[in-house]
Amino acid sequence: MVYPKTNRNHRTTVKPVLEVSYGSCFGKIPLGARRLAAWGLEVTLLAISTIAPFYLGLIANTRSVEETVPLNPILMSTQDAIARTFFLPKRTLHKTVTPLTNLLWSAALAAPILLTGYQLYGLAKTGENWPKRLLGLQVVTLEGTPPGLDRAIRRELLGRWGIPLGGAYLVWCWSGAFPRLGILSTLAILGLLAEGLTAQLHRRRRAFHDYLAATYVIESQTIYSHGQGMTPTDGYSPFRSGSSLLGKGASDDDAYSLTWTEAAGGLTSVVLTPQSMGRPRKLNSWRSRRFGRRFGLTLGVVSLMGLVGLAGGLGVMPRYRQQQTQWQDMAGRNDRVFLALVEMLTSNANPQAMEHRTAILALASSEDPRAISLVVDLLAQTNHREVMEATQQALVTIGPEALPFLKRLNQTLRNDQAALQSEESTQYTTIALRQQTVKRAIAKILILYSDQLHDADLSRTDLGQVKKGVSQFRLVLDQTNLAGVQFRGAILSGASFRKGRFFGPGEDARPGTYDDWITDLSGADLKEADFTDADLTQAIMQRSSLLRAILHRVDLSQADLMGTNLSSARLIGANLQQAILNDALLTGADLTDANLSHAVLQGARLRRASAVGAVLQVANLAQSNWQNADLTDVDLSGANLQSANLGGAYLKRANLSHANLQAARLRGANLTEINFQHANLIETDFQDAIFFTSRVADRDQFIRAILDDNITHQFEGVDFSQAYNLDNEQLTYICAQGGIHPACRP
């Protein structure tokens, strides 16, 4: 096409027929397909920047042997916010990680923020980011300029991502589909696709986010090549018949004012300006005329609303003043009552008098916040049993609000008891009686207000059993709801929690979500406590002492018992599925018929434990110690017993199919009728292990004894070729039962 000859700065009006200089190898692909591809690249880059360092950190945290450190505070807050938003259970949160994981997860948090900022900056300044530039796309305003930061944020963060994802999240919550993240992911994808497909409903291919930010997507370098103008090069014409800036169907209102500059040597620059920018606004538009016609009506409505508001205010003010006066009179009356009761307590010379005790009970009923501390102070100072009983009754009447005050007094009295040398002294007896009163008050509050104590904190409180003396006490909270109560470091020895509930689904009534009420018993002294039939689902019991505790049929599924002392504990029929028992001490524990499938007992010590008929499918028992344990009929299929010590264990009829016994020690273990199908026996130590009960002194007699019995093919296909310390008798039996070993003759 021949360039027009014209004077400098000549202006004319033409239809937008811009030739596209794609600058991309994707120029022949339709615009809609390129927009979709650009969006996919943006999502992929963002996902990789987050997911890659996160999973690397997760791998480093699970496989590294480094000492763990506390999670970065910023990561801790971010993790908590994510869990709260998506209803993730608290047990999935990490508190300690390896240093490398801390670094990688910090990168997973920072990388998407930096990438998003970089992409938004490029979009704001030039209308392009890396994916759009690659695919020959550009975002411009209606005037043909780059969108700027405010439009870029509105377009991307609000229109493209915020509204679709926010809508999907609201539907997910309101429909009751939470906490199933698969449904949320599906809704999010559908929301994003629906928002993107809005571009197909418009003749100019403007999506919803383009409308929100008043932008267009065009082929790149259409308007801006170098600053505000475009410099044609040899062989390139900026115009072509049939092409359009706004796409097909552009109307006359889309006409542009085209200005070009000519110098010696030809056309040097072209500037395209929308014709609408040069049109003066009509003052008498239809909106102005319509507003003018209804101005009187509008003024009347506004005036009427003002009068109604004024009348309402004048009517409400006297009533408000009257109510304020009543409140002030009531507060003054309550204050006078409180002062009168205090005077009655201080003026009464005989603390054991009925008036004295009546005043204490009246204080509890006064609902004055000062009454709690006053009653607790009376309990801390009195030496009379009658006054102690009255203060206990008063504190129980006050309810859960008294627990923090009772907790502080309990800790103070415990320190006072520890400071006294002689338990026979009168002072010690008085302190012990006060402590007994405090314990009883706490116990009664826990029973009477059990459904209101989900945030109660009784950490480091002494509620332990006292078996002798005048201050005998035992905490009995059978069938009590203690979900969410914090007992960290508390002394609860000898307590009875039969059929107690230590887990609740939270306010959303959905178990397995962030707001679940989970009791924290970490570091608590629970020696000889009774938890028969109790619900301790997901309970936190790290490094607690459950020595000789009774845990029959207790539900400890997904509970955290890391480092807990369960020596001689009775867990008959207990549910410990997916429980964490790393480094736990279960010496002499009774795990008969217990379910520990998928549990983690890495490094746990279970010497002389009884696990007859227990289920340990796919459990992680690496480096655990089962010396001399009774594992008759135990199900260890798929379990990880790498480097475990099973020396002297009784494994008759045990199921070890598909188990990993690499480097495990089975010295002296009873392996009669055991199932080793598909088990990993590399470097397994079988020294003195018993495979067959008919042991005789003479080898020929031993072989005849095997042949006399029915051949069961017990070890058919089991590979013993890399096992250690197999003697001749063991090999003879293994070969007779179909096992694989170089010593077995074909």
The pLDDT assigned to 362 comes to 80
pLDDT of 479 higher than 80: yes
Nearest of 303, 226, 237 to residue 266 by alpha carbon:
237
Provide CB contacts within 8 A for 197, sequence distance 6+. Answer: none
The pLDDT assigned to 93 comes to 85
In the chain, what are the domain boundaries? 1-21+227-277, 22-220
> What pTM did the predictor assign?
0.74
- pLDDT digit string (tens) for 54-110? 999 988 887 766 678 888 899 999 999 998 888 888 878 888 888 899 999 999 999
What does the block give as tokens for 700? Answer: 């020929």
Helices (H), 160-230: 163-174, 181-197, 208-213
Confidence of residue 294 (pLDDT cuts 50, 70, 90): low
Phi, psi for residue 11 in degrees, rounded to 5: -125, 135
The pLDDT assigned to 316 comes to 58
Q: How far apart are CA 401 and CA 367, in angstroms?
A: 11
Mean pLDDT of the chain: 81
Average pLDDT over residues 154-161: 89
Mapped onto helix, strand or coil, the DSSP state of residue 546 is coil
- pLDDT digit string (tens) for 335-391? 665 666 666 666 655 666 677 777 778 877 777 778 888 888 888 888 888 888 989
pLDDT of 114 higher than 80: yes
pLDDT of 250 higher than 70: no
What does the block give as tokens for 415? Answer: 């320190």
Whether the Cβ atoms of residue 595 and residue 613 lie closer than 8 Å to each other = no
Average pLDDT over residues 485-495: 95
pLDDT of 291 higher than 60: no
pLDDT of 629 higher than 60: yes
- pLDDT digit string (tens) for 14-70? 444 333 444 456 667 888 888 888 888 888 898 899 999 999 998 888 776 667 888
Whether the Cβ atoms of residue 650 and residue 626 lie closer than 8 Å to each other = no
Region of poorest pLDDT, from 236-245, 450-459, 607-616: 236-245
Confidence of residue 248 (pLDDT cuts 50, 70, 90): very low
Mapped onto helix, strand or coil, the DSSP state of residue 273 is strand
Q: How far apart are CA 389 and CA 533, in angstroms?
A: 33
Nearest of 550, 554, 646, 667 to residue 601 by alpha carbon:
646
pLDDT of 189 higher than 50: yes
Residue 29 has what DSSP assignment? S
Confidence of residue 325 (pLDDT cuts 50, 70, 90): low
Angle between helices 354-365 and 385-398 (to 10 degrees): 10
Whether the Cβ atoms of residue 673 and residue 714 lie closer than 8 Å to each other = yes
Mapped onto helix, strand or coil, the DSSP state of residue 712 is coil
Average pLDDT over residues 302-312: 69
Average pLDDT over residues 711-735: 88
Amino acid code (one letter) for 565: N
Region of poorest pLDDT, from 260-269, 534-543, 581-590: 260-269
Query: CA angle 491-397-456, nearest 5°?
Result: 40
Average pLDDT over residues 449-468: 92
Percent of the chain with pLDDT over 70: 76
Amino acid code (one letter) for 100: L
Confidence of residue 10 (pLDDT cuts 50, 70, 90): very low
pLDDT of 520 higher than 70: yes
Q: How far apart are CA 167 and CA 501, in angstroms?
A: 37
Confidence of residue 208 (pLDDT cuts 50, 70, 90): confident
Average pLDDT over residues 550-566: 95
The pairing of strands 256-263 and 266-274 is antiparallel
The pLDDT assigned to 328 comes to 52
Q: How many CB atoms lie within 10 A of CB 353?
A: 13
Confidence of residue 237 (pLDDT cuts 50, 70, 90): very low
Taken in order 434, 439, 443, 446, the sign of the CA dihedral is positive
The pLDDT assigned to 287 comes to 46
Confidence of residue 320 (pLDDT cuts 50, 70, 90): low
Q: How far apart are CA 227 and CA 229, in angstroms?
A: 6
Whether the Cβ atoms of residue 57 and residue 277 lie closer than 8 Å to each other = no
The pLDDT assigned to 192 comes to 86
Average pLDDT over residues 292-316: 65
Q: How far apart are CA 577 and CA 556, in angstroms?
A: 7
- pLDDT digit string (tens) for 681-715? 999 999 999 988 765 445 555 555 554 455 677 88
- pLDDT digit string (tens) for 255-290? 444 444 444 444 444 445 454 444 444 444 444 554
Average pLDDT over residues 506-533: 91
What does the block give as tokens for 291? Answer: 């507003």
The pLDDT assigned to 297 comes to 66
Residue 508 or 679, more confident: 679
Query: CA angle 581-513-58, nearest 5°?
Result: 55
Q: How far apart are CA 222 and CA 137, in angstroms?
A: 10
Phi, psi for residue 239 in degrees, rounded to 5: -125, 145
The pLDDT assigned to 618 comes to 95
Confidence of residue 324 (pLDDT cuts 50, 70, 90): low
Nearest of 503, 513, 509 to residue 454 by alpha carbon:
503
Confidence of residue 574 (pLDDT cuts 50, 70, 90): very high
pLDDT of 203 higher than 80: no
The pLDDT assigned to 295 comes to 58
Helices (H), 64-156: 73-85, 99-126, 130-134, 148-153
